Chain A
Amino acid sequence: MDKKISVNVCLGTTCFVMGSSNLQELIETVPAKYGDKVEVSGVPCLGLCSIDWEFSKAPYVKVDDEIIKEATVEKVLKAIDEKLKK
């Protein structure tokens, strides 16, 4: 597989206070685990909390096109693993 998997961690206000501050460790742990197959970066805001607000599913992380709601480190790593298996 040539194409890199991109992981975007939302660091907007809502996501940040709802837990994405802890997800930032992915920026260090993911390259250590997967090398250059996966690229992780923060984004100012994915704009999802204002659309999906009644469900309060922040923090959000995007793995390629897949949106992970109420993201945790485990959920994100699982999503990456599944993408890599394909």
Chain B
Amino acid sequence: MFIDIDCSQMKKYNQNAYGDYFVSKRYPDEAMLIAVLSDGLGSGIKANILSCMTATMLLRFIEGGQIPIRKAAEIIMNSLPVCQIRKISYSTFSAIKVDDDGNAKIVEEGNPEFIWIRDNEVIQPDYDTIPSKTFKNRKMRVYKINLKLGDRLIFCSDGVTQAGLGGGRLKLGLRREGLIVLLKDKLKEHPDISSTEFSQYIVNQARNIETDRLPKDDISACVLYFREPREALVFTGPPFHQEKDSEYARIFANFKGKKAICGGTTANLISRELNRPITMDTTISIGKLPACSYMDGVDLVTEGILTLTKALEYLEANTPDIDNAAGKLVKFFLDSDCINFMVGAKLNQAHYDPALPIEIEIRKNIIKKIAAVLQDKYFKKVNIQYM
């Protein structure tokens, strides 16, 4: 299973720092993911520091597997100081450790209980309560659950469940019940919604029910979605042995998932072998990149080296949503979980003419760099096949 995770946040109004802190990390070797959401007492910078410390320390404790998640959370719960004025703990937290098979351990201290949705119904899991040895009335909940394909987990700060508190319509705020209704309605409408969109939706809805649409507390929503990985294939460069063109073209045609072609010669090759015409976008290329082309059954057709080089630049600089061929290629990558590259090893002599700009790189090198950034920065699974 692939775990699609994202978190959206909104600051309390008039504050310039987030009082909630979210951190998550994937461990590809152990096929595992850890995520922590912490809510710091108060708001602004002070809350930001408290929640950031709690979240990052908890993540450090859990990773590496030296301390079980339950023990790590207990240490933090027992050590968090108490605010002199409010007599409550400095921060609250939720943490999850989950593997690709869906075995999850979750701890919560002070945060609203997470919501587990399967087939658009909420599941109420059992939990153990562990009281703090050092502080009265402080306790944490520990869950051990098994997730299945299609399940969703929603963690949020109390800024979501208490949204609208004291306002006109909802005297007691949105509360867990209200949030569940919102979630179910949205899922009925968009059963396949991504975690990014879903978390943004929750945060926006919470803001909308606040009086004057001004958040009275920091609002955070973290969503985990367990689903089949989205597969993608990128065909770039003609194969070294021309007689294998038709074989590779067939592999490309039979691939189940999204497909892209990067390269003019490559596009012509596929067009010829599969007998599918290419039409070029009639708009003038934007910036310094050739425009995209269109082919039946292919999601994206672009020029090769220049577009790949630019896409690598965008991926490294984290600049999505750029309206050119490389921007579209970046979106294609980011909308996939497992990305397969078929890289042709044939060289085009013309690219080695010294008259050409130095930026024209060897295809294999660019693909290697793109694969590295997709893996390390965007947590994608990448396969490269040379042909």
Q: Is B19 interfacial (CB-CB < 8 Å)? A: no
Q: Is B293 interfacial (CB-CB < 8 Å)? A: yes
Q: Could you tell me if B350 and A53 are in contact, using CB atoms closer than 8 angstroms?
A: yes
Beyond A44-B303, A49-B348, whether A21 also contacts B265 by CB under 8 A is no
Contact partner of A45 among B268, B281, B282, B351, CB < 8 A?
B268
SS class, residues of chain A in contact with chain B:
mixed
Q: Specify the chain A residue showing the minimal Cβ separation from B293.
A: A44
The interface-forming segment of B47-55, B113-121, B354-362 is: B354-362
Interface code A40-56, partner B: CB below 8 Å = 1, 0 otherwise? 01111101011001101
B269 to chain A, nearest CB (A): 10
Q: Across the interface, which residues of B come within 8 angstroms of A11, CB to CB? A: 264, 280, 285, 290-291, 303
| A54→B353 CA distance, assembly (Å) | 8
Interface code A17-30, partner B: CB below 8 Å = 1, 0 otherwise? 11001001101100
Q: Could you tell me if B351 and A28 are in contact, using CB atoms closer than 8 angstroms?
A: no
Q: Could you tell me if B285 and A21 are in contact, using CB atoms closer than 8 angstroms?
A: yes
Q: Is B288 interfacial (CB-CB < 8 Å)? A: yes
| A58→B264 CA distance, assembly (Å) | 15
SS class, residues of chain B in contact with chain A:
loop
Contact partner of B306 among A13, A24, A42, A56, CB < 8 A?
A13
Q: Across the interface, which residues of B come within 8 angstroms of A53, CB to CB? A: 348-350, 353
Q: Across the interface, which residues of B come within 8 angstroms of A13, CB to CB? A: 263-264, 303-306, 348, 351, 360
Q: Could you tell me if A44 and B350 are in contact, using CB atoms closer than 8 angstroms?
A: no
Q: Specify the chain A residue showing the minimal Cβ separation from B288.
A: A21
Q: Across the interface, which residues of B come within 8 angstroms of A45, CB to CB? A: 263-265, 267-268
Q: Could you tell me if A49 and B282 are in contact, using CB atoms closer than 8 angstroms?
A: no
Interface code B263-307, partner A: CB below 8 Å = 1, 0 otherwise? 111011000000000101110110010110100000001011110
Q: Specify the chain A residue showing the minimal Cβ separation from B291.
A: A42
Q: Could you tell me if A17 and B282 are in contact, using CB atoms closer than 8 angstroms?
A: no
Interface residues of B (CB under 8 A from A): 263-265, 267-268, 278, 280-282, 284-285, 288, 290-291, 293, 301, 303-306, 348-351, 353, 355-357, 360
The 3 closest A-B pairs by CB, nearest first: A45-B264, A44-B264, A49-B350
